[in-house]
Structure 1
Amino acid sequence: MNRQFYQRIKIFLCTWGMAGCIWAADYPVKVTLHTATGAVEQLTLSGDEQQMEWLVKTDGTLYPWVKENLAWGLGYFTVVKGHESVKKEWQKPVEISPDGMEVTYREGDIQVRVTRVCRDGDLTEKYTFTNRGKEAVSLYDIGIYTPLNDNYPGAQECINGRTNVQVWDGENAAYVNALRMGGTAPHLGLVVTEGSIKSYEVWERGDRKGNSHYRGILALNLPDSFLRPGRSCSVAWTLFSHNGNEDFKRKLLEKGSLLVSCDKYVYQKGETARMQVQSGFPLASYAAKMNGVPVPVVEKEGKYLVEVPLLQAGEVRLDFFYNGGKQTHASLLVVNSERELLEKRVEFIRMYQQMNNPSDPRYGAYMVYDNEGDSIYLNDTPNCNPVDRDEGAERVGMGVLLAKQYRLTKDEKLKESLLKYARFLREKLQTEDFVTYSSVDQKNRNRGYNYMWVADFYFQMYLATGDRQFAVYGYETLQAMYRQFGYGFYAIGIPVTIGLESLEKAGMKKEYKKLLKDFEKTSEVFIRNGLDYPKSEVNYEQSIVAPAVHFLAQLYLVTKEQKYLDEVKRQMPVVEAFNGFQPSFHLNEIAIRHWDDYWFGKREMFGDTFPHYWSTVTGAVYYYYALCTGDQSYLARAENIVRNNLCLFFEDGRASCAYLYPYKIDGVKGQFYDPYANDQDWALVYYLLIHEGI
């Protein structure tokens, strides 16, 4: 076949109407098909002023390792026949219709047929797997590539040209909500209309494949199937444009799906869980189960309500069954007591994670803990990433947490531990002029982040003990940061309110004025940059955007200058675009992050970490936004974020730095808590901010 013809593409604009008029959708889906593979090569929304491409280029031009075999609509499965198990991938069609909208593949006995239909501005795709052999087979690990453009070249490109992809693997009511990173419409939605999506996988990750700047190639997983000769299994979904979360929900219901929500997703034992199921149409039948046990459902005003008491700690799955065999679910977590969980974690740190060997140069430090080894991790494993397992940097969060807890309890044992830790910070991680390192050798990792976290600790200690020296240390630490890094660093957790409060209470008027002026100079940079966020250790991420808004909201509360609140409101949609509303404690209001286990965990795997504790910075943003505006809905959302992060802490006081949410990452099983307790205690720091105001 002529190569020029073989590489020809077909473009389809999903509109329908008289004389080509668009009257069913504001931004019809527009797809480009590749006739060599039958896959979707490009997806845009007609009328989008930004002309955003919603798919990663699969020709190797954007990322050299992303090639045509990963294009939208191609995929893989493992087939079991007798005692033989073989992985297959469909890539080359055996038949394509003249318009390219019907494609047939054949891998062994399995035929994969893909049909696409454009209607009313939407694109509907159906994937049918048929056993054409003479023996029964089992199919498992079925995945369809959906390479949505979730990656991070830099803020300017991301705001208008990249998407935050929220996946809900909710069986027959599964969906994908792809929000433009800048938060402005149009956005893209996918809703399952036939069949089921049980999970998703991530492919093509690694330190040599995009590192922390690339989420990977997503693939949606079908349930396992047993197919007798001639039998089939299918999944179908519809792609559509929408104007934001509420519009997405409305369209999801219009297209026949369900929307599940709960009043919250982490409960205390003895509380009642309340799940609500919305449907755009009356259900022919419905039922529910909690961890496999039937529970009652009440239909009220077109909504289906499940209310059940939670009598045991642990994970809870509420399954909702409807319309003859369909189902979806919500994932909940029950803890014995939120307060006791925090207390046990604090005690575990004090007892087991502080270096108490006087001959170790890290004496007094709070250290990483290996739950598998049941001991402090000494950061001496060959070929690991030692800088993110050291005795400083993010680990300072343990000190901040314990200082906050001491403010609440005045526990003398905590005070003893904290004073030892304070000496360690001042004498081992800081120089005489307050240059702040991450490790006792003071040879590298002089990070801007370090200063904010250590200063926060000192200010907490001043408010806890009344010792003026801690207020001085906090001030001098921030001055050292400004001397070295200037006013343009987007640090996580700039201690605006607590820093100024401490200096005021300590009677340090001159220092108060100087620090406030420093904060004002920082705000000038943040406001001037606006949505053009600078690159940091990652090109673009939630923990660049959210800390900027966190800082500006605090400064507004101190000064009441309207320009700060105006900028907060301008940047809030960008913060919110990272978060989804899926009915799971792993996902609901949890910001997208996907690299942290590689750097901080024992398993060193890239892949979606849901939740990751820095999602609680967004909780702090919502908390301060509620204080700034009086909008209490943001306080409820803030509480939801920090509660959902409680899953990283266990009833015996142990903790995990990351939960790997996808079913698999590059073929390696996910869905686990990493064995290292490392830096996750910042989640409890922000829990106390939101629940105790400290």
Structure 2
Amino acid sequence: MNRHFLRKTGVFLLLSFISAALFAEETDFKLDINLHTGGVSELNIKNDIHNMNWLVRTDGIQYPWVKEHLAWGLGYFTITKGHETVKKEWNTPIEISADGMNATYREGDIRIQVNRVFKNNDLIEEYTFVNEGKEEVSLHDIGIYTPFNDNYPGAKECIDARANVQIWEGENAAYVNALRMGGAAPHLGLVLTKGAVKSYEIWERGRKKANSHYRGIFALNLPDTFLKPNESYSVAWTLFAHEGNEDFKRKLLERGGVLVSCDKYVYQKGETARMEVKSDFPLKNCKAQMNGSPVPVRKDNGKYVVETTLMHPGEVRLDFFYNGSKRTHADLLVVDNEMELLRKRVDFIRTHQQMNNAADPRYGAYMVYDNEGDSIYLNDTPNCNPVDRDEGAERVGMGVLLAKQYRLTKDETLKVSLLKYAKFLRERLQTKDYVTYSSVDQTNRNRGYNYMWVADFYFQMYQATGDKQFAVHGYETLQSMFRQFGYGFYAIGIPVKIGLESLEQAGMKKEYKKLLKDFEKTGEVFIQNGLDYPKFEVNYEQSIVAPAVQFLAQLYLVTKEQKYLDEIKRQMPVVEAFNGFQPSYHLNEVAIRHWDGHWFGKREMFGDTFPHYWSTITGAVYYYYALCTGDTSYQKRAENVVRNNLCLFFEDGKASCAYMYPYKIDGVKAQFYDPYANDQDWALVYYILVNKGI
């Protein structure tokens, strides 16, 4: 290819409004590069029957607010020189090659050189920052835009033409695994080969920017660096096509990457953590630290292994150092005791989050708790989002949790609280004919989801108390749902097994047959729809896909009809594509969620929430899939999902509805637990399912 540079002449200006389309023989990729900006505007994988663009379009067509300055390979940094600090962006090259593969930018004293080359079917990119000034400078908040096409127009388009993007900001061993949402290869991988990535940011989120249907624009953050005159810092990565997770790992290692994994990521005090580091090439001078203190490294069967006993509750960072100055890490969490943590949370709900003011119409309800105010949140803040902080809907998870805990412990203090709550649900949130609202005013939010959760509570209470009236309430609640919403609603947590078991045990044979028939009609719709998942409150999400498989798995366990298992196996790759394997309790086997912090949190921030408690629905899917197939590896994965969500619960019994994971979101610092304890207790509901079978 022609690599000569065009300067800012009339020829360059002529080319600046067109793109260079590259179809090199020696690569798996096709690229379009905007010669005006030097940014990659389109990236396709050859021989992809869907011809998917792995990048968000930056011409304003896909999203009007996503313009060319956000294209792949452009970016920003903040420079401090002396007492002056200025943010800079590079998006207009001073030189660019005819094919766009090489571009030079100049922002103040900093020259940014971008070089791309195709090699052995891969695309290799290198970004170099050079201080051409006469003074030392500090570069910080450096971000390179990598706008992977992770957004949600609807199931049909998502399955074939969108990616679930799993980022591991593992310093010198960073990588990105972008999986097509439908699970069908080819997929896209990125492995860092030079320099480091310390974090990532999300840009262009908001209610007026695709709301909950768009994950945003990614930017990979480089480490802060000081550059003396004529000094430079470079980062390079390799992009490659792959066939799935195992092929991704193999190709990453072949390209010089390093993979870290642990036997699990949340431990109880006194347990021994095992971290393994894999490399296809010998590593030199290997050392490790746990929260800054040295721990031994040994070589075992070609892997570098760190084993250390965890004696203190809290976050643990295992750092691994190799090849001189290189490093990567794993993020672990230590709790005193898992079941004790659950008990503390249940006791806190009972003693702090139940409305005990008899004059309040919400008397008996389990309420949102504001950890900053150290009190129940009364849902009375102006300009907030009241419907996701009300006394019903997702908050019913607290009732289901306490009912399950009562089944396990027979703690009479829980029974008193639960009976008060059951009275509140039946008399204040439901009408005589079981129409189920989210709030006591019964004027809006008659959501299909409500019925499943309230019915689940009633069936749990039947199992806990043996009172047949609870089985009746559960049945009638579901019948009300079917009358109003039909058989095509992809509800979260449809209580198939416990519902049918409760009716059978209560001697309600007629009702059992009717409910089973309702479930079978629902199953037929789910099978007929297949991967064409309907839109609900969000166009397409993990909590539409996973509940469908969760439902079908329960129906298979009840009926043993092969058609349900066949459909489960067809849809499982779609469920699994939401989950990554990064070595962190925030990320490992945690499904992608990216809007819940806004709707349910006090900070009302859009952006990646890792973990978010609904990721545990996938844990339930794995649990039921193991029962359906006998494949115990899925039981282990289920335990990992629900265990990693324990980070949302604290040793004092308080909790958080969302952890905002990126470094920044739209320039605002994230990496925090939201102060509201809102709806996260479903994570413990599924923890008990996976670990106790109820």
TM-score tier after normalising by the smaller chain length: over 0.9
SS in 2 for 1:641: helix
Partner letter of residue 366 of structure 2?
Y
TM-score using structure 1 length = 0.98
SS in 2 for 1:452: helix
Per the alignment, residue 83 of structure 1 pairs with 83
Per the alignment, residue 5 of structure 1 pairs with 15
Partner letter of residue 12 of structure 1?
L
Map 1:665-680 → 2, pairs under 5 A: 665-680=665-680
Task: Tell me if 1:70 matches 2:80.
Answer: no
Partner letter of residue 57 of structure 1?
R
1:332-362: CA deviation from partner (whole Å, max 9, x where unpaired):
0000000100000000000000000000000
Listed as ranges, the gaps of 5+ residues in structure 2 are 1-9
How many Å separate the matches in 1 of 2:413 and 2:673?
30
SS in 2 for 1:324: coil
Is the 8 Å Cα contact of residues 14 and 119 (structure 1) preserved in structure 2?
no
Using the TM superposition, give the Cα deviation of residue 14 of structure 1 relative to its aligned residue in structure 2, in angstroms.
4.7
1:425-481: CA deviation from partner (whole Å, max 9, x where unpaired):
000000000000000000000000000000000000000000000000000000000
1:87-145: CA deviation from partner (whole Å, max 9, x where unpaired):
00001000112332110000000110000010111100000001110110000000000
How many Å separate the matches in 2 of 1:252 and 1:46?
20
Using the TM superposition, give the Cα deviation of residue 10 of structure 1 relative to its aligned residue in structure 2, in angstroms.
1.2
Per the alignment, residue 689 of structure 1 pairs with 689
Which stretch shows the higher mean deviation, 539-548 or 113-122? 113-122
Per the alignment, residue 461 of structure 2 pairs with 461
How many Å separate the matches in 1 of 2:84 and 2:376?
45
Partner letter of residue 107 of structure 2?
E
1:632-680: CA deviation from partner (whole Å, max 9, x where unpaired):
0000000000000000000000000000000000000010000000000
RMSD: 0.7
Per the alignment, residue 286 of structure 1 pairs with 286
1:54-75: CA deviation from partner (whole Å, max 9, x where unpaired):
0000000000000000000000
Per the alignment, residue 3 of structure 2 pairs with none
SS in 2 for 1:211: coil
Per the alignment, residue 174 of structure 1 pairs with 174
Partner letter of residue 83 of structure 2?
H
Partner letter of residue 490 of structure 1?
Y
1:362-382: CA deviation from partner (whole Å, max 9, x where unpaired):
000000000000000000000
Partner letter of residue 632 of structure 1?
T
How many Å separate the matches in 1 of 2:125 and 2:41?
14
Map 1:99-178 → 2, pairs under 5 A: 99-178=99-178
TM-score using structure 2 length = 0.98
Map 1:493-532 → 2, pairs under 5 A: 493-532=493-532
SS in 2 for 1:344: helix
Is the 8 Å Cα contact of residues 253 and 259 (structure 1) preserved in structure 2?
yes
Using the TM superposition, give the Cα deviation of residue 12 of structure 1 relative to its aligned residue in structure 2, in angstroms.
2.0
1:173-206: CA deviation from partner (whole Å, max 9, x where unpaired):
0000000000010000000000000000000000
Per the alignment, residue 425 of structure 1 pairs with 425
How many Å separate the matches in 1 of 2:510 and 2:14?
74
Is the 8 Å Cα contact of residues 58 and 66 (structure 1) preserved in structure 2?
yes
SS in 2 for 1:614: helix
SS in 2 for 1:261: strand
How many Å separate the matches in 2 of 1:509 and 1:367?
36
Partner letter of residue 430 of structure 2?
Q
How many Å separate the matches in 1 of 2:30 and 2:680?
42
Is the 8 Å Cα contact of residues 15 and 120 (structure 1) preserved in structure 2?
no
Per the alignment, residue 20 of structure 1 pairs with none
Q: How many positions carry a matched residue from both structures?
A: 684
Listed as ranges, the gaps of 5+ residues in structure 1 are 17-24
How many Å separate the matches in 2 of 1:256 and 1:608?
29
Per the alignment, residue 320 of structure 1 pairs with 320
Partner letter of residue 242 of structure 1?
H
Per the alignment, residue 392 of structure 2 pairs with 392
SS in 1 for 2:475: helix
Task: Tell me if 1:449 matches 2:425.
Answer: no
Is the 8 Å Cα contact of residues 172 and 196 (structure 1) preserved in structure 2?
yes
1:256-291: CA deviation from partner (whole Å, max 9, x where unpaired):
010000000000000000000000111122110000
Map 1:31-50 → 2, pairs under 5 A: 31-50=31-50
Per the alignment, residue 550 of structure 2 pairs with 550
Per the alignment, residue 586 of structure 1 pairs with 586
How many Å separate the matches in 1 of 2:625 and 2:130?
53
Partner letter of residue 437 of structure 1?
Y
SS in 1 for 2:416: helix
Is the 8 Å Cα contact of residues 462 and 470 (structure 2) preserved in structure 1?
yes
Partner letter of residue 184 of structure 1?
A
Which stretch shows the higher mean deviation, 118-127 or 376-385? 118-127
Using the TM superposition, give the Cα deviation of residue 6 of structure 1 relative to its aligned residue in structure 2, in angstroms.
2.3
How many Å separate the matches in 2 of 1:98 and 1:294?
51
How many Å separate the matches in 2 of 1:5 and 1:545?
45
Using the TM superposition, give the Cα deviation of residue 4 of structure 1 relative to its aligned residue in structure 2, in angstroms.
5.2
SS in 2 for 1:213: coil
Per the alignment, residue 436 of structure 1 pairs with 436
Using the TM superposition, give the Cα deviation of residue 77 of structure 1 relative to its aligned residue in structure 2, in angstroms.
0.2
Map 1:355-374 → 2, pairs under 5 A: 355-374=355-374
Per the alignment, residue 21 of structure 1 pairs with none
How many Å separate the matches in 1 of 2:196 and 2:436?
52
SS in 2 for 1:428: helix
Per the alignment, residue 255 of structure 2 pairs with 255
How many Å separate the matches in 2 of 1:275 and 1:12?
42
Using the TM superposition, give the Cα deviation of residue 8 of structure 1 relative to its aligned residue in structure 2, in angstroms.
2.1
How many Å separate the matches in 1 of 2:379 and 2:43?
46
Per the alignment, residue 597 of structure 2 pairs with 597
Per the alignment, residue 409 of structure 1 pairs with 409
Partner letter of residue 130 of structure 2?
T
SS in 2 for 1:573: helix
Per the alignment, residue 661 of structure 1 pairs with 661
Partner letter of residue 7 of structure 1?
F
SS in 1 for 2:237: strand
Partner letter of residue 467 of structure 1?
D
How many Å separate the matches in 2 of 1:264 and 1:688?
18
SS in 1 for 2:613: coil
1:570-610: CA deviation from partner (whole Å, max 9, x where unpaired):
00000000000000000000000000000000000000000
